[in-house]
Structure 1
Amino acid sequence: MGRELRQTVFTDEDHQLFRTRLKQSLGVLHDTVARPSFGLAQPMLGAELEMFLADPDDGLPVARNEEVRLAAADPRLVLEVNRYNLEANLTPVPLRGAPFTALHQETRDLLGAVAKAALPHGAVPYCSGTLPTLRPGDLTRHNVSAKRRYGLLDDALGRTPRDLSVHVHGEPSCRMRSDSVCAQGAASSWQIHLTVPAADFARFYNAAQLVIAPVLAVCANSPVLLGRLLWDESRIPWYEQAFGTPRSPATDSFERTGFGDGWVRDGVGELMEAACRHRPLMPMCADTPPTEDTDHGGPAELEELRLHVGTVWWWNRPVYDPVGDGHLRIEMRALPSGPTPADMAANTALLTGLVLDHATGHEPVAPALPFAQARANFYAAARQGLDATLWWPRTSGAPVRRNAHELVRSLLGRAARGLAGAGVTDAEVQRWLGVMEARVASGCSPARWHRKARRAGACDRDIFRHSLELASEDVPVHAWPVPGWRGRGPWA
């Protein structure tokens, strides 16, 4: 969905042809990923960084993303949903040596370039899952970015204010009616892309589904939305409702978004087929039908399938990429943006290491945990962060309930083992998992820092200014002092 669309009006014939192409694509995909030449010899790691543009004094959003992007003149920057949202696409790096240091340095450089370009427009980049100073009036159609695809999404989803009531329970609860995809502009993510071998796709995908809950618990960074103190990761339920449609009036689950419906057993085709059950939103067809053989000799393009999967917003999403000899990757979309480049690099190291270790051959393809419990874990972690109680599988016997804080502590060794097995240097593992170890030891997730500042009497604008200053120094959040806190040190 990152590209602009050349077609804006779709007929019944377009929809019918597109569905036919999707069905054809599933067969071509099966044959393509089975080719001996398909896939990358070396695993790769990439990331997408979403950010807000905000006034450095009062934290209010600054709707100048197009002007900032043009001033930065950096092809890695693209417009996001609202005019105060930007996204940076980082350069993929080999998953060996010092990949997290490379992502960390590029993130710092990109944020520096955005800050320089934004300064004449009275804005600074701000990395957080939600912008705490955002107001309901900022989430209206007049703030939607000038890209045709967002208007087309609104039309395709058929939104009316009556249809979309976005709400998150908290202190007090937050509820807003919206008739536009602009509600999604309240959320920013740090999305990690991990290439995986086609033959082991189910094993890696299930591993990502299993470990995302404890990782999200310690990385949560979205406790305040529209002035309300809500979930530790309020971005999760907000995003699902902003892009999804209710399955039925009696359920809290949503079509097109969410955690999924079960463990994967048959590979990437199983997920792609599930995605194709959703109604096409952008039925734009390529000039020719999907075929395994292409003019350039590479793998099938599968343009219709790739476009369609980009309109299904699962928290862990499969990606087929035909570049070069082609590859599959998992787009892990659940982690929030920010608060610092160092924190995001450390978050990536923890999540990647746990996925790698749980995807090894000594683990079953489907974890020894009912999928309903894995899904419950995800939302418990989003809601309660490190205070959540999560179900966790055992090598023998029934799953047990674990405190998220203690569970993350116990998993650090497995993350280190997964990274070492991929060829990440010991110094790199110690550096970035050391940040996570210090965060766990202090009990200081980004969400907990914000909550503590709130309890100490700081308002959201003051918290914004403090976090902006501390983030500019790239000091990990576990070392941040809390404004107004009178204890012995930041987290006494």
Structure 2
Amino acid sequence: MSDDLAERVEDVLAVDAAEFEAQAKADAEVLKRELREGTFDNHQSIVGLEYEFYAVSDGRWSASEDDVHALMRVPRRMLGLMGFEKELGLHNAEMTTSPQPLNPHGLRAQESEVRARLEAALDCAAAEGIRLVSDGMWTIPPAGETAGEYLTDSIRDDGVRLATNMSDSVRYHAMANGPTAPPSFTLEAPHVSLEADTVMPEALITSIQPHYQVPQAEDLPHFFNYALRVAGPLLALGVNSPFFPADLYDDDATPTEILDDGWDEHRIAVFESVLNSGDHEKVTFPEDLDTVEDAVERVVTDSTMVPMSVGRGDRFDDQFATLRRKHGTYWRWVRPVFDGASRSSANARIEFRPIAGQPTVRDSVAFQAAFAGLMERLPRQDHPVIDLDWSTANENFYTAMREGPHGDIAWVDIDGDEVSGAELYEDLLVHARDGLRVAGCTEQEANYYLEPLRQRVETGVTPADWKRERVREALDAGADFETALQQMQREYVEQQSETLLEGEFADWF
């Protein structure tokens, strides 16, 4: 870890927090004025996608079978060659697609771009014996290390705490060094408890994040509140992180207890428990919005972890650059975003953040299409699910986290009746399909995009269910828990190697 990084962190810590807050508040007034003037209005809906991966050994040069598909650090030069961006951990890589209009051509462009860039990245990584994996959480630590060691290893450089396996982003390292940073960051889940000096335990998790740009900025709250209602049901279909690395479990936890008490989407718990350590409450299921200005004010009033100085250039969004910087640590499971390099590209959008990385590209695009279709249809139809109490939507979200689609998730259908289970998903997917039809898709095209999610409803099998069943089978065959877990993870990677680009999760069983 370089002295330069520690110096840059110290420079951040020297920023006057009161001045930072005052500038963010002033920026908010600029942003609200532009919103009132219609600068963020557009004539169409736009979609985009952030797609995170982690890297593992492809097994060719592994010293033993135990090292196959173990977590690997991605060389920084390789990220540039792949056209991917760095994320929190040295093992992470992130792709961001080019925004496209929500129509058949735009959706095809999204899927084609992901496949084209990912195939090129896989070829590039293979030269180094690395494979990129689309998943919710890794479970096999780097060869010769435990997960606990990898996630907690840190040094002190002139009093600055630096995570050894974290990317050299000043923002990430500064979180552990500011005046409001807690003494430690704690990861908590059933039968798991881990303390670290930094936010590095968050690097366990990976996700996809569909974006939906609303046509008229003043309507963002209406779309946003619908997004909160669909968050639980969509999360339930996407659950994909039922297990932690074996060494993170409590010594006295039995395999039966881990299986019985574990949740289907531990990614939610990791993000919340680590980044809500101390007095901050940064990661939450957000409340309904009343006005678009409320969305701006929520960023202003959010607690500041890292008051970083901001340079201002000639871009349009440089007029509210400090507020944008503060928004970088404004984490909510559904998040409004306002930006644009120019006035003509200024946009108001919703980032949908609950979904873990999925087994295949087609499954990932299915969630992007479903969210876009629902945003296109439900608000314009004034679907009665908007009358579902916020508290019920919140409860749905955490029920989905724990139990996936097998939990008791409430919904209000088009007739205003309270439904759950198969009736919930019939209404949800019909309206997602109709939204895609409104966007110009044929019925065949709309069904193509949503078919992976329909398969999960009809079979009752999510990626989390698949993982649990593999572990149970290995335990029943006499394996210990760590062996059973690693056998499952290796089978996941092998299955994905055959289906990531062209297949779908339903091909696995």
**TM-score scaled to structure 1, two decimals?**
0.85
Partner of 2:307: 283
Q: Deviations over 1:113-133 (max 9, x none)?
A: 222222233221011010122
Greater Cα offset, 332-341 or 141-150: 141-150
Corresponding letter in the other structure for 1:168: A
Cα pair distance change 1:232/1:157, threshold 3 Å? farther
Corresponding letter in the other structure for 2:230: V
Partner of residue 332 from structure 1, selected from 343, 352, 365:
352
Partner of residue 395 from structure 2, selected from 361, 376, 392:
376
Unaligned runs of 5+ in 1: 248-253, 289-293, 482-492
Corresponding letter in the other structure for 2:335: R
Partner of residue 179 from structure 1, selected from 189, 193, 197:
197
**2:193 aligned with 1:168, yes or no?**
no
CA contact under 8 A between 1:56 and 1:465: conserved in structure 2?
A: no
Corresponding letter in the other structure for 1:199: E
Partner of 1:478: 506
Partner of residue 89 from structure 1, selected from 80, 92, 96:
96
Q: Deviations over 1:32-75 (max 9, x none)?
A: 01224433322111111111101133222101241431443x2x
Corresponding letter in the other structure for 1:97: P
Q: What fraction of aligned residue pairs are identical, expressed as a percent?
A: 26
Please give the secondary structure, in 1, of the residue aligned with 2:458. helix
Partner of residue 411 from structure 1, selected from 405, 423, 428:
428
Q: How big is the alpha-carbon RMSD for the aligned residues of Structure 1 and Structure 2?
A: 2.6
CA drift at 1:168 = 0.9
Cα pair distance change 1:38/1:352, threshold 3 Å? closer
**2:459 aligned with 1:442, yes or no?**
yes
Cα pair distance change 1:361/1:302, threshold 3 Å? farther
Q: Distance in 2 between matches of 1:471 and 1:11?
A: 43
Cα pair distance change 1:287/1:412, threshold 3 Å? closer
Partner of 1:199: 218
Partner of 1:349: 369
Unaligned runs of 5+ in 2: 60-67, 142-146, 153-162, 247-257, 476-483
CA drift at 1:234 = 0.7
CA drift at 1:86 = 1.0
CA drift at 1:406 = 4.4
Partner of 1:258: 284
Partner of 1:250: none
CA contact under 8 A between 1:368 and 1:394: conserved in structure 2?
A: no
CA drift at 1:107 = 1.9
Q: Distance in 1 between matches of 2:507 and 2:391?
A: 36
Partner of 1:302: 320
Q: Deviations over 1:334-378 (max 9, x none)?
A: 1111211011011212222122222215247x9212211111110
Partner of 1:251: none
CA contact under 8 A between 1:104 and 1:344: conserved in structure 2?
A: no
Q: Distance in 1 between matches of 2:236 and 2:179?
A: 31
CA contact under 8 A between 2:264 and 2:403: conserved in structure 1?
A: yes
Cα pair distance change 1:427/1:177, threshold 3 Å? same
Partner of residue 60 from structure 1, selected from 55, 70, 78:
70
Q: Distance in 1 between matches of 2:413 and 2:427?
A: 13
Alignment of 1:74-153 (within 5 A): 74=83, 77-134=84-141, 135-140=147-152, 141-153=163-175
CA contact under 8 A between 1:28 and 1:300: conserved in structure 2?
A: no
CA drift at 1:255 = 0.4
Q: Distance in 2 between matches of 1:10 and 1:79?
A: 20
CA drift at 1:235 = 0.1
Please give the secondary structure, in 2, of the residue aligned with 1:139. helix
CA contact under 8 A between 2:414 and 2:427: conserved in structure 1?
A: no
Partner of residue 46 from structure 1, selected from 27, 45, 48:
48
Q: Distance in 1 between matches of 2:485 and 2:15?
A: 51
Q: Distance in 1 between matches of 2:98 and 2:171?
A: 24
Please give the secondary structure, in 2, of the residue aligned with 1:313. coil
CA drift at 1:157 = 7.3
CA drift at 1:222 = 0.9
Partner of residue 28 from structure 1, selected from 6, 27, 30:
30
Q: Distance in 2 between matches of 1:235 and 1:200?
A: 31
Q: Distance in 2 between matches of 1:214 and 1:367?
A: 14
Q: How many corresponding residue pairs?
A: 454
Q: Distance in 2 between matches of 1:477 and 1:211?
A: 22
